[in-house]
Amino acid sequence: MGFKDKFLSLALTLLALAACQKPSQQRGVAISFASTAQSALVSTKAGAGENTVLSTTENMRSKPFGIYGLYAQDPRSETGTNVFLSTDAVAVSYRTDSWEYDNLAYWSINQFYRFRAYHPYSGSAFNVLNSSSVDLISIDYKVASGNEDLMFAFWKGQANEAVISHRVPMSFTHALAGLSFSIGFKNSPDVDDRRTDNVTSFAVSGIIPNGTVLYTHPDGDFDAATMIWIAENYDASTKYYQWTGSKPFYKLDEAHAATPIFDGPDNVVMAIPQSSSGAKGPTKVFFTTSEGGDAVNEITLPEVQWEPGVIYSYTFIISQSKIDVEITIKDWEPVEINEDIHIL
């Protein structure tokens, strides 16, 4: 065999070997995320609400979030390929100046993606069930075990040029309701302008304290998201959100607003979505004051459906003859996380 023939044979052999040894994962554009959350603040004082960590930019960085991902050729497909190396949730943590996890993930061009996430990745109040996946995150929550602000996010889209050149916009929403309570004297002639008292203890009974939340999709529509709460075991006797201390409250006027009972900047505790004072039984609050000594004020809350992502603010207004209850209902306002979340 001549030199040219030997050279040609070697070249053909090398080409054949190259064709057989394709890389298992083609590298391209790494997947990255941006995030928004609905905000509130952290309690730093003792008492009910002291462990409430509601989601702001800084607080979100303090704990990782968990995320599942899948892609397929058909956006309506039930099955597909895992984005990450495991079917378990990937923990994404803030490290120094960016959000990272341990193994890179890359876009597969023109495939249809869906991501489902929860924050925080773990906590004392809840347990992520092993059956959880990109299409069904199942979490058990117990209000007596902690007070984490549990949130969920979902995103879908096709990996085209426009999508892969931007971060995936994960928008987190609250899975729980928020409760706050305040107290004051009625602004009326029968109340002395200088009258003050101190609230000394507080508690709530008649709630459903444990529940399971399913963050999943509508029937047959794997390209969408819905949240379902399963919470049935009403507890009529146990007292929850117990607080003791001494806080002054005043006659309500231009100089004095109602005094929040719980501690912390937003004075909020978390509740499983349910019907307060609904068909299962009354929801009651109990509180004492310095002026009243050991006498316990017992008040049944009005019937209200506690929805996820909503704060229910109750104000107890004391006059000489009765205690009125006023309620204000508002959504948590979204706030943008200033530092984009990267998958690196």
Whether the ω angle into residue 265 lies within 30 degrees of 0, i.e. cis, is no
Domain chopping of the chain, boundaries: 33-176, 177-331
Number of CB atoms found within 10 A of residue 39's CB: 19
Output the tens digit of pLDDT for each of the chain's 344 residues: 554 454 445 444 433 433 333 333 446 788 876 655 544 333 323 345 555 556 555 677 788 889 999 999 998 889 999 999 889 999 988 777 767 778 888 999 999 999 999 999 999 999 999 999 999 999 999 999 988 889 999 999 999 998 888 878 888 888 999 999 999 988 666 656 667 899 999 999 999 999 999 999 999 899 899 999 999 899 999 999 999 999 999 988 878 899 999 987 678 999 999 999 999 999 999 999 998 999 999 999 999 999 999 999 999 999 877 899 999 888 876 544 434 444 43
CATH number of 177-331: 2.60.40
Assess whether the region 33-176 and the region 177-331 belong to the same CATH fold: yes
Q: Amino acid letter at 37?
A: A
Instruction: Give the pair of three-digit tokens for residue 36.
Output: 């928004």
Do residues 5 and 12 lie in contact, with contact meaning Cβ atoms separated by under 8 Å? no
Evaluate whether the domain defined by 33-176 bears CATH number 1.10.1200: no
